[in-house]
Structure 1
Amino acid sequence: MVDGLTMNNSGVSEPEPETMESIMEQIDSVNIHRGSVVEGTVVDAREDGWLVDVGYKCEGFLPRREWSHRAIVEKVGEPQVGDRIRVQVTNVGQGEEAQLNLSRWRCEFDERWNALEEKLAQSDVIEVEGIRKVKGGLIVDCCGLEGFIPISHLAEEGRGINPANLVGKTFPVKLVEKDRRKRRLVLSRRSILDEEMASLREEFYANVHEGDILEGEVSSITSFGVFVNLGAMEGLVHITELSWQRGAKAKDLVQKGDKVKVKVIGIDRENNRVSLSLKQAQEDPWVGVTSRWTVGQRTKGVVTNLADFGAFVEIEPGVEGLIHIGDLSWSRVKHPKEVLKKGQEVEVVILEVDGDRRRIGLGLKQLNDPWANVSEKYSKDQVVTVKVVRLADFGAFVEIEDGVEGLIHISQLSRQRVEKPSDVLREGQEVQAKILEVNPSEKRIRLSLRALEEPTGEERHEERREERRRRPAREDHGHSRQQGYVQQQEEFSFTIGDHLNLNR
């Protein structure tokens, strides 16, 4: 052998056959130690892992748990026999039972973390991609590593967002916290958005003033109003500024995502709040109301609200009038709900129009006046059946027919002295009364119970005396004597029945 070569019969040199010693020397020359990153070939697949030939004196074992890690965004599948893979040596055994332990995810993690560090050294803003929604926030792909964005850091301050809306989307973030040992990455999208919004707000405040009409998009609907996205910031349309119509509901007027025109009615720069109005961006329905509605005009409307003092009726969109409780019915009404109900369509007559004060007075009872032909149905001395509707200190109000009431004065309740009307009558009682006066122009009828009672003997005697006093005196003396004689007879025409009635 010369320099490791041998000569065959033909005189050609051949390499010296490898011996076990030469193979061991080659293996020992490979620099394998804990932490080394080497490339090898998968030579066998087992249930608990893979055998990998990395050029060492024994094959390395890669457990399945060392293939990947939750901190890594995995984009490749498990290896097959014959695949070339890069691994990190985690343990090098010695002796006859020496074993080489390997890990793939550890070298992957180190490489990706180093790449992240390099990017952060160049800029504090990095691009990430949303992976999945988790409790409390969003998991993102940051340089192949999983990072976490708390839900409070997903949107600008004061606004909420559904983390699921960012899954699959790429967006910039800033680093909040990183811990290599704990493999922890916490990021923030809000800090970038806040900076962008601060710049946009400054531009907004410089160009927008109260009274401006802007176009925006309905971003959310609440019980107290509607939020409208104006681009640089959101403004609130309070429920009272939604419509000129009373009691209008937000969900009946707009939907989320609708494009709307709004008027700026307030700017609070200190608290970053903008107050908006939908109705003021539209024409005011009260403008020109006096030219459209006149006293005495009849129309139809819808009852929008009932109050103790009356009923509100919308006679055109955004224009309401009030039917005072006294104009609901000719009969006594304790509450408007006795006559009307909310949502009911009614015919009304215009009683008053005040455009400056935005008031329209309406009447319901004026459509049918029961006093119109009272003088034709009722006359003096007519006896009618009435119903007591209420009692007062000075007398009793009685209903002659629907909408027509009369008064029985306390002095006309009885021929006897009456201290209070409740001593004689009670509400709801039906009695007969005699009409003393009918006055349709003043809507007044006076009645009497006393006129239907029989007078006592003393009362008849007093009536006769009163009648004689009213007789005219005659100059004829003879006639006077005769008259005196007759008068004397009349004064003593007092019967036993009169005496009994008087004692009684």
Structure 2
Amino acid sequence: MVEEIANNEKNGGNSEELDMGALMAEEFGGLEEGKLIKARVIKVGKESIFVDVGYKSDGMIAIKEFTDQHGKVTVKEGDTIEVFLDRIENSQGFLILSKIKADRLKNLDGLEDIYKNKDVIEGKILRPIKGGFIIDIGVEVFLPNSQFQANDVGGVENAVNKIIPVKIIKYGKKKGEIIVSHKVAVLDQSRKQRKELWDTVQEGDIKKGLVKSITSYGAFIDIGGVTGLLHISDMSWGKVAHPAEVLAIESEIEVKIIKVDKEKKRISLGLKQLKDDPWMKIEEKCSIGSVINGKIVNIVDYGAFIKIDENIEGLLHVSDMSWTKRVKNPAELLAIGEAIKVKVLNIDKNNRKILFGLKQLERDPFEAIEQKYQPNIRVTGVVTGYSGSKVYLEFENGIEGVLNKKDLSWTKKFPTLKGVFRKGEKVESLVLNIDKVNRKVNLGLKQFTNDPWIAEIPEKYKVGTVVKGKVTKVASFGLLVELEEDLEAFIHISEISDEPIQKLEDTVKPGEIKEAKVIKLDNESRKISLSIKHLHSEMKAEELKKYSDNTGGKGTFGDIMNQGDDSGSVEESTDGGQGN
């Protein structure tokens, strides 16, 4: 070989004719820096691993390249390994080898295929650096901040050691030439997941999902790149006031596909459909007439809702809370969260309704009421309130009595009951009858005395009788006149005078005493009608007859009137007859 080199030099030293590769291969036994070679471990030292590669010099590798995270050396004497030839000889005459670089070179070859195929791979975030992170994907690569979705790992501060999907967006074999993107990888995965899901999804499928958002009407669930709606009505077989009672954002749940519209790209999800409908087996839980335990979950104006199972609740109506008390506000009797025992009154399986009763747990006191509250018996009750034309009294055991306005007096009229009785006042009354339908005892006060309209009033105020009374009310259409205590009569405006009256309020005042004649007595409606006009006409007729008898029948009505003026009639003062 030396001769050949010399001859070449004599011939002018033509470098193209010198095969340097052949010389290197002959000199170093086929070894070439920058390549992978096989080596056998011959010694494991404290700081280095020594290997035999079939060359005159042995190779040396730092022991840390073979130490795992627990500090344990992963090779032993006799093992065959693949290493990277970094330099043929160092100052000590050893081959400089690297296990790490060998692994990197092998990984780089695989990453090139991944880059060309545009595959998504996983990487572990090792540490932050300026502008991004170092990611381990077999070799250390760079992930720029702009290509990182920090929210997916709980923020930048929680990124280290997290495993994330990445995609190689720039490739080169030199250190620092590989750049990856987390965002692109997530987007690619999402697109792939969506396509796969829409291609395969069917109604009835059960999927795992992630709660992304909650509204008043439901929640949106990510079931693998596709978001479906879980409506509030499909969350539970029982009542749900708000979806937040059942779900939490970012929580993982299992749902059932209940409807798929591939044209509009809509999916409806169900949570309650994962369980059997409890209403289909309601008879196993309770039956009509049974007594069960429950819990008050809501109170409204018309009653309370009682939960007897995780997904079953029914209504306790106010009318079924007490046999005797009129419950206006259920919250005064019951409290939310209170345990309660109720009786099942009705089950409507189709409409998912149960009606409960509380009072039905006790005997109805009204069943024996006829024996205690017989007609014409005197009873004393406490005034509890008013309603229109009725006064309500309460007796022992909560029995309620009703005193109607028409049964207060035979003769007195009550425009309003306000002020007639006070709440809490004790009132003695007479039992009239029992109203079983409305569960009331009808009472009366006027029945303590005989009805004057039967004989007394008709006898005293016969038609044609002249009476005197005090005006109690002046209206545009007539007068109310008090004849005696609690007895009034009515004078229509047409029965006051033969002359037209423009405004009655200017002619008559309350408190004036008026004399009139009874012209009608209506026993049925209990009304007495009077007339001043009829009385005056009769009086004038009598005066005319007297004058006619005194004058032999030659007098006139005008003469009587003049005579009356001169002598001072009953209506006028004697001073009014004086001349000027």
**TM tier, smaller:** 0.5 to 0.7
Superposed CA RMSD: 6.0
CA gap 1:323/1:427 in 2 versus in 1, 3 angstroms: farther
Per the alignment, residue 475 of structure 1 pairs with none
After superposition, the C-alpha distances for 1:198-254 in whole angstroms (9 at most, x for unaligned) are xx3343235644333333223333444433223263323344444443362333333
SS in 2 for 1:349: strand
Q: CA deviation at 1:142?
A: 7.9
Which of 440, 444, 447 pairs up with 1:363?
444
Q: Tell me which residue corresponds to 2:96.
A: 17
CA gap of 1:401–1:207, structure 2 versus 1, over 3 A, is same
Summarize the Cα distance change of 1:62–1:352 in structure 2 as closer, same or farther, 3 Å threshold: same
- Tell me the TM-score normalized by structure 2: 0.53
Aligned to 2:385: 303
- Alpha-carbon distance in structure 2 between the residues aligned to 1:322 and 1:40: 84
Give the distance between the partners of 1:60 and 1:185, measured in 2 at CA: 40
Deviation at 1:148, TM superposition (A): 6.0
- Aligned runs of 1:396-435 on 2, under 5 Å? 398-403=481-486, 405=487, 421-423=495-497, 430-431=512-513
- 2:336 partner SS: coil
Match for residue 51 of structure 1?
134
Q: Gapped runs of 5+ residues in structure 1? A: 411-417, 437-442, 463-490
Match of 1:221 in 2: 299
**Partners of 2:329 and 2:434 in 1: CA distance:** 27
Partner of 1:155: 235
- Contact 2:316–2:357, Cα closer than 8 Å, also in 1: yes
CA distance in 2, matches of 1:128, 1:166: 15
Tell me, in whole angstroms, the C-alpha distance in 1 between the residues paired with 2:416 and 2:320: 28
Give the whole-Å Cα distance in 1 for the aligned partners of 2:268 and 2:138.
Answer: 40
- C-alpha contact 2:385 2:393 (8 A) present in aligned 1: yes
Map of 1:327 onto structure 2? 407
C-alpha contact 2:153 2:162 (8 A) present in aligned 1: no
Displacement of 1:100 after TM fit? 1.8
Aligned to 2:355: 275
Higher relative contact order (CA 8 A, sep 6+): 1
Residue matched to 1:174? 256
Per-residue deviation, 1:50: 1.4
Q: Distance in 2 between matches of 1:271 and 1:337?
A: 45
TM-aligned CA deviation for residue 306 of structure 1:
1.6
Query: Are residue 64 (structure 1) and residue 114 (structure 2) matched?
Result: no
In 2: Cα distance, 1:146 partner to 1:69 partner: 21
Q: Residue 5 of structure 1 contacts residue 15 of structure 1 at CA under 8 Å; is this kept in 2? A: no
Change beyond 3 A, Cα 1:42–1:212 = closer
Larger C-alpha radius of gyration, 1 or 2? 2
User: Match for 2:129: what amino acid?
Assistant: A
- C-alpha displacement at 1:287, in angstroms? 3.0
**Alignment correspondent of 1:472:** none
User: What TM-score do you get using the length of structure 1 for normalisation?
Assistant: 0.60
Q: Is the 8 A contact 2:230 2:271 kept in 1?
A: no
Aligned to 1:5: 55
In the alignment, which residue of structure 1 is the partner of 2:314?
235
Alignment of 1:5-404 (within 5 A): 5-7=55-57, 15-17=94-96, 26=105, 30-32=109-111, 33-34=114-115, 35=119, 37=121, 42=126, 45-46=129-130, 48-52=131-135, 54=137, 56=139, 60-64=141-145, 66-68=147-149, 74=154, 77-80=157-160, 88-94=166-172, 99-103=177-181, 106=185, 133-134=214-215, 136-138=217-219, 150-152=230-232, 155-156=235-236, 159-167=239-247, 172-175=254-257, 187-193=269-275, 196-197=276-277, 200-205=278-283, 208-231=286-309, 233-244=312-323, 245-246=325-326, 248-293=328-373, 295-307=377-389, 310-315=390-395, 319-329=399-409, 332-333=412-413, 335-337=415-417, 340=420, 345=425, 347-354=427-434, 356=436, 358-364=439-445, 386-388=469-471, 398-403=481-486
Counting aligned pairs with the same residue, the percent is 19
Greater Cα offset, 272-281 or 23-32: 23-32
For residue 55 of structure 2, what is the amino acid of its counterpart?
L
Cα deviation, 1:183-202, whole Å, max 9, x if unaligned, reads x9975312124xx23xx334
For residues 40 and 492 of structure 1, what CA distance do their matches in structure 2 show? 142
> Structure 1 residues 210 and 43, CA, compared in 2 at 3 Å: closer, same or farther?
closer
In the alignment, the residues of structure 1 paired with residue 493 and residue 321 of structure 2 have an alpha-carbon distance, to the nearest angstrom, of 59
1:69–1:361 distance in 2 versus 1, CA, 3 Å = same
Query: Is the CA contact 2:320–2:359 (under 8 Å) kept in the aligned structure 1?
Result: yes
User: Do 1:435 and 1:445's aligned partners in 2 also have CA atoms closer than 8 Å?
Assistant: no
Task: Report the AA paired with residue 306 of structure 2.
Answer: V
Consecutive unaligned residues in structure 2, runs of 5 or more:
1-27, 30-52, 59-91, 499-503, 519-525, 565-580
Q: Distance in 2 between matches of 1:494 and 1:25?
A: 159
Measured in 2, the distance between the counterparts of 1:321 and 1:234 equals 35
Specify whether residues 334 and 85 from structure 1 end up closer, same or farther in structure 2 by C-alpha distance, changes over 3 A only: closer
CA offsets 1:56-94 (integer angstroms, 9 cap, x no match) = 5xx522133544476x575995345xx686653432435
- Per-residue deviation, 1:302: 1.2
Report the CA distance between 1:370 and its aligned residue: 13
Distance 1:68 1:364, change over 3 A: farther
2:570 corresponds in structure 1 to none
